[in-house]
Structure 1
Amino acid sequence: MLLFRCTKDATAALTTTRKGAVQSWVDNTPLPDDVQPWVWQLHAVKIARQNVLVAMQTETRFAMVFWGLKKGDGETLLRLFYERLANHLLWQAEDAVALDKAASQAMLDRLLQKHTGFRFHTGSNCSVQTHINEVVHCCRDAVADNGCLPDNREEAAGFDEFLNQGIRSVKGGAYFQPAEELLCACLRDFAGMAEPDIAKLRERLKAQRRQALAQSMLQHAEIEGMPEDDPAHALMMQLLAQAQGKGRLH
């Protein structure tokens, strides 16, 4: 089951009054004892006079942002949530060369089958909310820079990808990338990938990020006109060579 833990603002966004009757998607009926829910925290804010909802998976801190939804429109929220989640997982598995197309679809089918049921409860986690607040800040910056929020489809998916490529840390622990954490969790739980294989995938993705960073640094050095005999340039070349060597597929 998919469980959304809703902040006070998210609860308000999922509640409306029609003909004097209060209608809400939030239902605090306890879950059955044998249900192990997949938990996401849901928060809502107003940006550019639009309702903006942020859903963040509590363990991986993977976030998706939805906007322009009418008050109390949980149906549209769920449709967009499942659609966006499916696309993200398929794209991530393809980009990481983790599974072939058929295996990726099978992984997604198993995930959706297990989490077709859903429930909205009130409640929140302070640590998760801190990261949600950072996402909200990015949303406000996007509006300040572009004058509007992206659409709820391709542009929104690209915005989510940007958000989840950054690094986060929980309570001073090791830094991690939410996109990678979500993919690895799903590979383990819904594709049956063994931990040693997941560890190899993590190392390969880490090497690819090092390579991308080194290439970006070199491009900046070229733009700035850094001479090739500069020690910093030599160090960047060394980092790039190391990254390319460790980033090869085996």
Structure 2
Amino acid sequence: MLVFNCTKAAADFFTLKRNGKKISPLEAPPTDSVSGSEVANVLNAPTVPISAWLVHEVNVQRKKVLIAMHVETRYAMVFVGIQKGDWLEFTNQLLERLFNNMQFFGEEFEMCDEESFEEMFNEFIKLHPKPYFCQRGDRSVQSHINDVAWQFEDRAYQIGSLPDGHEECASFDEWINSLIRSTKQKKDYFHPDEEMFLDWMQTYSELGDNEDKLIRQLFGSLRRQMMHAEMVKRGIPDDGYFDEMNDLLNQAINKYNEEVTPDKLNEVTPDNVIDFNQAKKRKLH
């Protein structure tokens, strides 16, 4: 069951008035709460996984921007340029981007290919044949959406414009979902992109023994690669630089020790000799 819980701002965005009549996709909430798993107000509803989202609308640079956040994982997506009342286009864009992002991680980690992802796609459609739109909110999720909205507005201000098209919005999604978050339900900090991919694989595929741990390790490796690439881009020396410098220093010290008398080997190292291991530790802290 795919549930889009809408704040009042989002509910107003999806509602149109034509000939004095309201046209809206909103209906009675199909579950007992935003984060609940108990089905309500749906006749003969089968027991299926619930993919619940909170949708909010904000104004940025005099344009309406929709922000959707997955309740369980806090995975967020932003949408610019959707016409007021066009809930179908919103749904299509969200699903298209979600599928693309999950397929990217699956192929990056060599956990799925075109054929196996097609099976997951079909499973998703089978479990969520239609979206449900309803009006209600959640304070915890809303606080994270507010942070996403602030980050989005700040980035738009720095760049000077809103994202232009699907790909630029997806680029912001990629960045915002790599940031750590926390909730009362989870003991530790977490990354929304990592949690969403795990949720996706557990719900629409079959994870083998310890594959969840493997996925977390793969995400950790991917983040280190991205951090290294960013450091290179900014011209910041990484750990390899300090390791190389430390090796060169040790070689120089060893060569020096081979040339001095044994008595001098027992002397205390002077204070002005740089220990690159310590320098590296200070830099990291």
TM-score, normalized by the shorter chain, greater than 0.5: yes
Output the CA distance in 2 between the equivalents of 1:115 and 1:148: 35
- After superposition, the C-alpha distances for 1:48-73 in whole angstroms (9 at most, x for unaligned) are 11111111110011111112222211
Aligned pair 1:175/2:189, yes or no?
A: yes
Q: CA deviation at 1:147?
A: 1.9
Confirm whether residue 103 of structure 1 aligns to residue 116 of structure 2: yes
> What residue is the counterpart of 1:31 in the other structure?
42
Aligned residue runs from structure 1 range 158-197, under 5 A: 158-171=171-184, 173-194=187-208, 196-197=210-211
For residues 118-156 of structure 1, give each alpha carbon's deviation from its aligned partner in whole angstroms, at most 9, with x where no partner exists. Answer: 110111111111111111011101210122211331112
Q: Deviations over 1:60-96 (max 9, x none)?
A: 1111111222221112111211211111111121122
Distance in 1 between residues matched to 2:229 and 2:97, nearest whole Å: 30
- Normalised to the residue count of structure 1, the TM-score between the two structures is 0.84
Query: Which secondary structure state, in structure 1, belongs to the residue aligned with residue 176 of structure 2?
Result: helix
SS at match of 1:94: helix
Is the alpha carbon distance of 1:16 and 1:207 closer, same or farther for their aligned partners in structure 2, counting shifts above 3 Å?
Answer: same
Of the three residues 67, 81, 91, the one matched with 1:68 is: 81
* CA-CA distance at 1:7 after TM superposition: 0.7
- 1:27 corresponds to which letter in structure 2? E
Q: Distance in 1 between matches of 2:167 and 2:183?
A: 30
Q: Partner of 1:2 in structure 2? A: 2
SS at match of 1:221: coil
Residues 7-56 of structure 1: CA deviation (Å, up to 9, x unaligned): 11111111121121121121126234545431111111111111111111
Give aligned-pair identity as a percent: 31
Structure 2 vs 1, CA of residues 207 and 6 (structure 1 numbering), >3 Å: closer, same or farther?
same
Which 5+ residue runs of structure 2 have no aligned equivalent?
A: 30-40, 247-275
Distance 1:41 1:35 in 2: 21
**3-state SS, counterpart of residue 70 of structure 1:** coil
Partner of 1:243 in structure 2? Answer: none
Kindly indicate whether residue 219 of structure 2 is the aligned counterpart of residue 205 of structure 1.
yes
User: How large is the Cα RMSD of the aligned pairs?
Assistant: 2.7
Tell me if the contact between 1:10 and 1:42 (Cα under 8 Å) persists in the aligned partners.
Answer: yes
1:106 shift after superposition: 1.6
TM-score (structure 2 length as normaliser): 0.74
Q: Which of 208, 220, 224 matches 2:236? A: 220
- Aligned pairs, how many? 236
Instruction: List gaps (5 residues or longer) in structure 1.
Output: 240-250
Distance 2:137 2:72 in 1: 13
Structure 2 contact 80–169 (Cα < 8 Å) conserved: no
Quick check: which has more Rg, 1 or 2? Answer: 2
Mapping of 1:18-167 within 5 angstroms?
18-28=18-28, 30-32=41-43, 33-36=45-48, 37-167=50-180
Distance 1:143 1:194, change over 3 A: same
Q: 1:100: how far off? A: 2.6
- For residues 207-248 of structure 1, give each alpha carbon's deviation from its aligned partner in whole angstroms, at most 9, with x where no partner exists: 4434554676685237xx979242256559xx9xxxxxxxxx
